[in-house]
Structures are given as structure tokens and as C-alpha cells.
Amino acid sequence: MRNQTDSEKGHWQKMVDGGLADFSIPLWRDYCDGLHLRLMHKWLGGRRFEATLKTDLFDEAVGVGLVNWLCSVSTSVEGIDLMPEIAKRAADRNPEIKIRQADVRSLDAYSSPCFDLIVSNSTLDHFEDETNLIGSLNELARVLLPGGLMFVTLDNPQNPIVWIRNRRTSTWPGQSSLVPYFMGRTVPRLELIRMVEDAGLKVEKSTFIMHLPRVLFLHASRLFAAGSPSGKSMRGLMNSFELLNKLPSRSRTGHYSAVLASKPVA
């Protein structure tokens, strides 16, 4: 399984060198974190975990992220990120968790299964080809303990905006004028389910999330303070779009596919 290419390194390094301030939009970050946390709380219930792995620390580097909640349900939490600068920034902001620079496609630091919960939200849709997506799922399944759970989200290519965005390419395939960072190969929910099952896991639940017009509300969020009355009203409006998940058109409106899978006990 290959590690990151020179083009990948150059792209992510350029983004980090340009500063991350533009990505720190408190209202938007609060909305995204809340969306994932509500779904995980619903799916995981009151279960507690011994060891949790969080892939991709971008959310924790530019906002609050998910680690506070993960720490509340886990005895220990580890986080990994491809870019050492993002890993360091996340570590500075979250000293209570163990953080390392690592590539999810090759988790050499973990020689055997050691996590009973893995959370990988929008990590595996940043690769150039499907082989890396499959390889990453296999690696995550490998380090998951029998009886453990894995929560994964991917961009949903059945959403027309995602479909258009991933075809408005620039200097690096998948990078778009609509999104300042690389968006790679992704697959529909049913194909994601198949890939997860091929990795040896059992899919327990799946759904679609984030049904609002993402680009419009992301930029609108810059106009509101997260804790202000108007910001709270705006977040309520944003959350109301999740009602679209009850409609037959949910596969077209959902920005992400979400899957919860378990590893069978031999």
C-alpha cells in the first residue's frame, strides 16, 4: 500500500503554509461537530470504550472537533493525521489525547488490533484513487478489536453539488474552485457498505447527513457569531435541513454517507 505522493505532500503543505485561519469558522464548525456528535450518540447509545482512534485531526486543529465527546466515552483516545503541522496544532489544543503523524493507508504503528472504536469522518475521500480508499478501510478494520465499532463518513457522489465539484478540477485532480483543498475519489453509500463488508466488518447502520446547501451556508456562517442569538437561530435553520433525510430524495440531498460497522467476534 503506497504512502502519500509528492503531489499530495505539496498540496497539503501549501494549504498549511497559507494558514488555517480561513477554515476556522466557529458557527460552521459548531454545526458540523454537532451533526456528527448527534448521530454517533444516537448510534452508539450509552456504550463506553477502552481505546478510541480518531483519523484526520483537521477539525480539532481549526475548531473544537469531536475529541471532547470521544474522551467522555473512552478510557483513552488517540488521533492521527497525515500532516505533522496539523497533528501538532491538534495536539497543542487537545493535550488530553495521544496524537501522532500517520498515514491511514499504512498504520504501521499499530501491529495488532488495539481499538474498540474508530471514528473516521471525511478522511477517506481525499485520495486520488479507489485503491487507497479500499486499502484504508482494510487497515482500519485490521486495527479494530473484535466486537469493536467503526464510524465512517464519505462525500456522497450522488449529491449533485458533490458530483459537480469533483469534476471542476484544477492543477490536481479533485481540487476545485468550490473547495480550497483536495477532494478525491469517493463512492456511493451502497458501494461504501460493500467495501466495508469486504474488509471483514458487519455494517450495522447507514444513513445520509448534512442535507443543506453546503457551500451557501458555509460562507453565510462567516456572518454570524456562533454564540449570538442570531448565530443560534442560524444553526437551528441549518439543522432543520436534516428533516430531508426522511424523504425518498435523501440520497440526492445528503452531502455525506455515514456507516457504522462492527468487527465480528471469532
Picking from 69, 77, 66, the residue whose alpha carbon sits closest to that of residue 46 is 69
Domains of the chain: 6-24+43-211+248-262 (3.40.50.150)
Residue 232 backbone class (left: φ over 0; alpha: ψ -120 to 50; beta: rest): alpha
Q: What is the pLDDT of residue 258?
A: 98
Q: What is the pLDDT of residue 3?
A: 47
Sheet with 144-155, strands from edge to edge, namely: 98-101, 74-81, 49-55, 115-121, 144-155, 256-262, 202-209
Average pLDDT over residues 164-171: 62
Question: How many angstroms separate the CA atoms of 183 and 46, rounded?
Answer: 34
pLDDT band at 146 (very low <50, low <70, confident <90, very high): very high
Please write the tens of the pLDDT for every residue from 80-127: 998 888 999 999 999 999 999 999 999 999 999 999 999 999 889 878
Angle between helices 189-198 and 130-143 (to 10 degrees): 50
Q: What is the pLDDT of residue 174?
A: 43
pLDDT at position 19 over 60: no
Question: How many angstroms separate the CA atoms of 160 and 181, rounded?
Answer: 19
Most confident listed range (39-43, 79-83, 173-177, 182-186) = 39-43
pLDDT band at 195 (very low <50, low <70, confident <90, very high): very high
Average pLDDT over residues 7-22: 54
Average pLDDT over residues 126-142: 91
**Which cell numbers hold the place of 123?**
478522511
